Amino acid sequence: VKLGKSVVVAMAAVALVASSALAADMSDLRNEALDHFAPLPSTPVFKEGNRPNDAKITLGRMLFFDARLSKSNVFSCNSCHNLGTGGVDNNSFSTGHRWQVGGRNAPTVFNASLHIAQFWDGRAADVEAQAVGPELNPVEMGATEALIMERLASIPAYVKLFSDAFPEQRKPLRYENVGAAIGAFERTLLTPSAFDAYLNGNESALSGKEKKGLAAFMNVGCVNCHNGVAVGGNSYQVFGAVNQPENLADKGRFDVTGKEEDLHVFKVPSLRNIELTYPYFNDGSVWELEKAVKIMGWTQLGEKLSDKQIDEIVAFLGSLTGVAESYDLPTLPPSTAKTPRPDRN
Amino acid sequence: VKLGKSVVVAMAAVALVASSALAADMSDLRNEALDHFAPLPSTPVFKEGNRPNDAKITLGRMLFFDARLSKSNVFSCNSCHNLGTGGVDNNSFSTGHRWQVGGRNAPTVFNASLHIAQFWDGRAADVEAQAVGPELNPVEMGATEALIMERLASIPAYVKLFSDAFPEQRKPLRYENVGAAIGAFERTLLTPSAFDAYLNGNESALSGKEKKGLAAFMNVGCVNCHNGVAVGGNSYQVFGAVNQPENLADKGRFDVTGKEEDLHVFKVPSLRNIELTYPYFNDGSVWELEKAVKIMGWTQLGEKLSDKQIDEIVAFLGSLTGVAESYDLPTLPPSTAKTPRPDRN
């Protein structure tokens, strides 16, 4: 094909105009996104009254991985909130003490500190408060405060770490501080992703398809609930706002408040790393992200999303994945003759 | 106290002689030690026919941590051979599928590649052969070859890693290669310790007490079985060679060979990292290292070791601890719609 010079120049001009129009569109998209979302903070946000120090983060990481926080010594926090698999265990319900099974899908610990509250029903105010719960749950780790504290007090390295982590306290070896240390560690578990790079100004951090997905995510209305720094995690909503879901056995936040208006109300999950944190929903009943998006469109928005919309939205959701290639599995201090032994019963 | 000059000179001379005699003693001790032990190799020793490459080690590490190798997706290799706790789970018997329980104490993966064979009864020739066992054991991980291979084949990142790890094979996605990859990874799990530094010529790597313990360890006869590069792991011996132990329920290697002479015969455990790998013996019945040393002295050597001997030997055993401060917990590739789901039953 041969083209005259003037034609080539004209085409180049058209291309330029189109390209700058596209750039304007894209910049508009980013501006619109910035109305709804915020990039992850560049450093962890710690809790007032739970100031971090190296010993506290080290202690929190060790406790997170220490199965001596369970009665049987079989389960650690990481068993169900596995840092190697998006901070979850990829099971519908987690397996606990004596092979018992939980009633809600284990949420991810990654970025959890940015949520308004913890657990599906928001019954814990923050990660520090959440982190003292599962140890004592008979179907999860099956331990008692007394057992855990007797174990920790019997291990010199832990005694020293508690002292170093809470230098302002006269009696640092307290169960509450187990939560404070684990919580402080969990606040470091932030996963900046391509979407953050995009929000921070790198237009090419998202592909064309991901941008279309972002646009659809906002236009369709997903963003009404999944917004903010965690793309969710910052409000409570009723499951089945428009159309009823298949399974409504779980009463959600009603169990916490006893208020009729909280029936089937759940904390909106964060969508960060969502492609890793299957299966989906409070009951872990849906294994494909495409299907989860489709159901959400119908139950929450009354929208029958097209396959193309779903495909693009899922592409966008992929840009929220930001876990590291690996995490530190710390070597734990050994037990001593005084350490209460594991009990599988 | 005032001393004449000649007395001081004479004392200094005596001190010099004593000090060089001590140095000679210590050097003799190290020479004697080198007759029995060898320092860890400075690089892993790989298996002929299972040459390592980066993809293979990466794949092996991922598989080691991947709970999808168990039917329930609850257990990974690391559940019982936890790199954060000396390569064991510090339970007498490990908990497996449906809360069932094993019959022998889980041995450490650290330095296991240096043993003559794997398992307490030596029924697997090497770590590659061992690493395909527990997945299929109904009381451990409860899976089948078909289930595991269907899961791995459904995950593109694994398919690629198997291809890259076994470039010479036409069909790399085979169950045997699960063992080859995990085995190759496990061969990298070497833990050089103060004792290796000592064997390599650093006289001050061991304290005076540790050296006394080393001397006792050799003089008493522990070294008859616990010798070589792994301080054990290189021979089979009968439990109760001189005096009968309390519990002889386990028939040991007899179960493998059917030979009368193998009744209650076990592979001698390696003592590397022994202070971390409690509880002790094939049945994990003894929790204190002091007690284990005492029992061994009596059952294997007919020696009633003194508290001082035991104390020094235990100090020496502490110099065999060489685990790193942390290990890499890899992020695993997510499942797909085709991946067979977990089954707790």
pLDDT tens, B274-317? 999 999 999 999 999 999 999 999 999 999 999 999 999 999 99
Query: For chain A, which ranges sit under pLDDT 70?
Result: 1-26
A106: DSSP letter: P
pLDDT of res. A100: 98
Taking the CA atoms of B22, B26, B28 and B29 in sequence, report the sign of the dihedral they define: positive
pLDDT of res. B34: 98
pLDDT of res. B10: 53
Among A72, A82, A331, the residue with its CB nearest the CB of B95 is A72
Instruction: Verify whether the Cβ–Cβ distance B83 to A335 is below 8 Å.
Output: no
Q: Are strands A326-330 and A265-267 parallel, antiparallel or unpaired?
A: unpaired
Chain A residues in contact with B323 by the CB 8 A cut-off are: 331
CA A325 to chain B, closest CA, distance in angstroms equals 5
| Burial of residue A118, with CB atoms counted within 10 A of its CB: 0-12 exposed, 13-18 middle, 19 or more buried | buried
Report the distance separating Cα A34 and Cα A37, nearest Å.
5
The residues pairing with B252 across neighbouring beta strands, listed in sequence order, are B265
- In this predicted model, what pLDDT tens digit does every residue of A147-175 receive, in sequence order? 999 999 999 999 999 999 999 999 999 99
3-state secondary structure of B226: coil
pLDDT of res. B267: 98
Instruction: Verify whether the Cβ–Cβ distance A84 to B329 is below 8 Å.
Output: yes
Residues 6+ apart with CB under 8 A from B293: B222, B305, B310, B313, B314, B317
Report the distance separating Cα B238 and Cα B261, nearest Å.
9
In Å, how far are B46, B107, B200, B314 from B38, measured between CA atoms?
Answer: 18, 21, 9, 20
In Å, how far are A344, B11, B202 from B27, measured between CA atoms?
Answer: 49, 24, 10
* pTM beyond 0.90: yes
Query: Which residues of B lie closer than 8 Å to A, measured between beta carbons?
Result: 65, 67, 72-74, 79, 82-86, 89-91, 95, 98-99, 101, 275-276, 278, 287-288, 323-332, 334-335, 337, 341-342, 344
Residues 6+ apart with CB under 8 A from A68: A148, A151, A152, A335, A339, A342
Taking the CA atoms of B234, B238, B242 and B244 in sequence, report the sign of the dihedral they define: positive
- In this predicted model, what pLDDT tens digit does every residue of B196-205 receive, in sequence order? 999 999 999 9
Mean pLDDT of chain B: 94
Nearest of B328, B326, B151, B86 to residue A84 by alpha carbon: B328
Instruction: Verify whether the Cβ–Cβ distance A331 to B334 is below 8 Å.
Output: no
Among A65, A95, A342, the residue with its CB nearest the CB of B84 is A65
CA B76 to chain A, closest CA, distance in angstroms equals 10
3-state secondary structure of B72: coil
Contact A232, A225 (CB under 8 A): yes
CA A317 to chain B, closest CA, distance in angstroms equals 14
- A226: how many CB neighbours lie within 10 A of its CB? 28
pLDDT of res. A248: 86
Alpha carbon A209 to its chain centroid, in Å, reads 24
Residues 6+ apart with CB under 8 A from B281: B105, B239, B245, B292, B295
Q: Could you tell me how many CB contacts below 8 A there are between chain A and chain B?
A: 107
> B145-153 and B175-187 helices cross at what angle (nearest 10)?
80
Among residues B140, B186, B210, B312, the one annotated as catalytic is: B140
CA B147 to chain A, closest CA, distance in angstroms equals 16
Among A82, A278, A341, the residue with its CB nearest the CB of B335 is A278
The arithmetic mean of pLDDT across residues B69-80, rounded, is 98
**How many residues can be counted in chain A?**
345
Chain B residues in contact with A85 by the CB 8 A cut-off are: 67, 331-332, 334
DSSP B99-149: G-B-SSPPPP-TTGGGSSSBSTT--BSSHHHHTTSGGG-TTTT---HHHHH
Q: Which residue has the tokens 């590397």?
A: B272
Q: Are strands A326-330 and B236-238 parallel, antiparallel or unpaired?
A: unpaired
In the chain, the amino acid numbered A79 is: S
Nearest of A240, A168, A333 to residue B276 by alpha carbon: A333
Q: Which residue of B has its CA nearest to A65?
A: B84
Contact B116, B235 (CB under 8 A): yes
Q: Which residue has the tokens 């500190």?
A: A113
Among A327, A335, A337, the residue with its CB nearest the CB of B329 is A327
Q: Looking at chain B, which runs of residues are DSSP E strands?
A: 236-238, 265-267, 326-330
Catalytic residues of A: 140
Residues 6+ apart with CB under 8 A from B20: none
Radius of gyration over alpha carbons of chain B, in Å?
24
Report the distance separating Cα A202 and Cα A56, nearest Å.
35
- In this predicted model, what pLDDT tens digit does every residue of B91-148 receive, in sequence order? 999 999 999 999 999 999 999 999 999 999 999 999 999 999 999 999 999 999 999 9
B265: DSSP letter: E
Chain A residues in contact with B90 by the CB 8 A cut-off are: 73, 334-335, 342
Alpha carbon A212 to its chain centroid, in Å, reads 24
Structure tokens at B330: 């890899």
Structure tokens at B341: 């789901």
The residues pairing with A252 across neighbouring beta strands, listed in sequence order, are A265
Instruction: Verify whether the Cβ–Cβ distance A334 to B86 is below 8 Å.
Output: yes
pLDDT band at B1 (very low <50, low <70, confident <90, very high): very low
Interface predicted TM-score (ipTM) over 0.90: yes
Taking the CA atoms of B137, B140, B146 and B149 in sequence, report the sign of the dihedral they define: negative
Taking the CA atoms of A51, A53, A59 and A63 in sequence, report the sign of the dihedral they define: positive
CA A270 to chain B, closest CA, distance in angstroms equals 18
Is the per-residue pLDDT at B182 higher than 80?
yes
pLDDT of res. A129: 98
pLDDT of res. B25: 63
Query: Which residues of A lie closer than 8 Å to B, measured between beta carbons?
Result: 65, 67, 72-74, 79, 82-86, 89-91, 95, 98-99, 101, 275-276, 278, 287-288, 323-332, 334-335, 337, 341-342, 344
- In this predicted model, what pLDDT tens digit does every residue of B41-54 receive, in sequence order? 999 999 999 999 99
pLDDT of res. B27: 78
